[in-house]
Amino acid sequence: MIYLDSAATSLYRPPEVARAVSWALMSMGNSSRGVHEAALAGARVIFGTRRLLADFFHADGAEQVVFTANSTESLNMAVKGLLVPGDRAITTVMEHNSVLRPLYEMTAKGVRLEIIGTDDKGRLDMASMREAIYSGAKAVFCTHASNLTGNVNDIRKIGGWCREAGALFVLDASQTGGIFPIDMQGDFVDVLCFTGHKSLMGPQGTGGLCVRKGIQIRPLVTGGSGIRTFDKRHPLRMPEALEAGTLNGHGIAGLKAALEFIQAEGVDKLRMKEEKLARAFYERVRDIPGIRFYGDYSAAERAPIVALNLGDEDSAEVSDWLAEEYGICTRAGGHCAPLMHRRFGTESQGIVRFSFSSFNTMEEIETAAAALRAY
């Protein structure tokens, strides 16, 4: 099997991740639910992971890191916990349904939504984004990189506009956390939403958000937190304010091991290898007759994604053929990015997405390119 679907989820992970999850399953109790050694072991791992993430994203401190099950939960928490009827929100056609659907729900409650478009290569209309921000907005919800095209947005510029205009900047780092440096301070990010199972190489069921101090988000779920049992209201102190119930401590242990691996390897080193593999694949298939690409492949900085179609062939047919004939795993269809497909006119055909990991090899790239040529 050649796995080229890492934008959906990591398959190849450092062996330390599996070992950490195995240890946690046999050793960790419930964090904040006791002072015995098993509970304390859980508390140490969870706090240590918060601290690693705070350092990784230059957040305001470990207590500002909140754990969720994935980016979808994090983004729902941010959208529904920040906006109220009458607010004006800004987003883009590049967004995943994890952003769009919660925002559409909020429009039904009286939130006004403006959606910024792209050019024919899927590059964000920055002039319209700037104008929309300075026209007054409560919050901007924007992806760092498109999960469909791999195009990367200039988040420092967008964040700077938001800070100057007094708008909150909520960043979806699902495709970039782990391979692109993100500095919440320097990039003016107020809320950063991430998932653990993609480029952070942690287990599925892990994710979270980092919240700038002073930002109040209404909790999506309330309940037990291990503290202040007799209060009728959920705790207001971070991070418990946005966490309810038992955390996925076993998964978080795996995420901690993945973060330590990334730190040791270096974000830039991992990104450059993935970019090299994606570029090599693109160069080997770019002259196939009838092939169409989606995204800006002239950009120096891209997420490691190559999105394409072969003539008018249905994307699912191509993806299925690659899997059945060559054992090559790709993603076809709509990619939970409906507005980008509408922009490209690929709502019926879909798009075949190849996405790369630092664990892929150049030999796999050669095989995948030859397979596509043989279709």
- What's the predicted TM-score (pTM) here? 0.95
Kindly tell me if the per-residue pLDDT of 286 is higher than 70.
yes
* 189 and 280 together in one domain: no
| Whole-number Cα distances in Å, 273 to 162, 177, 308, 357, 370 | 33, 16, 21, 8, 21
User: Which of 265, 288, 316 is the endpoint of a domain?
Assistant: 265
* 120 and 224 together in one domain: yes
User: Which of 245, 265, 285 is the endpoint of a domain?
Assistant: 265
d(CA 177, CA 194) in angstroms, rounded, equals 7
d(CA 169, CA 176) in angstroms, rounded, equals 16
pLDDT above 70 as % of the chain? 99
Coil, helix or strand at residue 356: coil
Strand 191-195 and strand 168-172: pairing?
Answer: parallel
Q: What is the CATH number of the domain that holds 162?
A: 3.40.640.10
The single-letter code of the amino acid at 357 is S
Q: What is the CATH number of the domain that holds 295?
A: 3.90.1150.10
d(CA 159, CA 212) in angstroms, rounded, equals 13
Kindly tell me if the per-residue pLDDT of 244 is higher than 70.
yes
| CB count in 10 Å sphere of residue 370 | 12
352-355: strand order across its sheet: 291-294, 305-310, 352-355
User: Which of 265, 288, 307 is the endpoint of a domain?
Assistant: 265
What does the chain come to in residues?
Answer: 375
- Structural domains of the chain, count: 2
pLDDT above 90 as % of the chain? 90
* pLDDT single digits (tens) 66-111: 999 999 999 999 999 999 999 999 999 999 999 999 999 999 999 9
Q: Which domain holds residue 20?
A: 15-265
Q: Looking at residue 226, what is its pLDDT?
A: 66
- Which residues fall within 8 angstroms of residue 369, CB to CB, at 6 or more apart? 281, 284, 285
Of 63, 68, 76, 67, the C-alpha closest to 239 is 63
* 146 and 221 together in one domain: yes
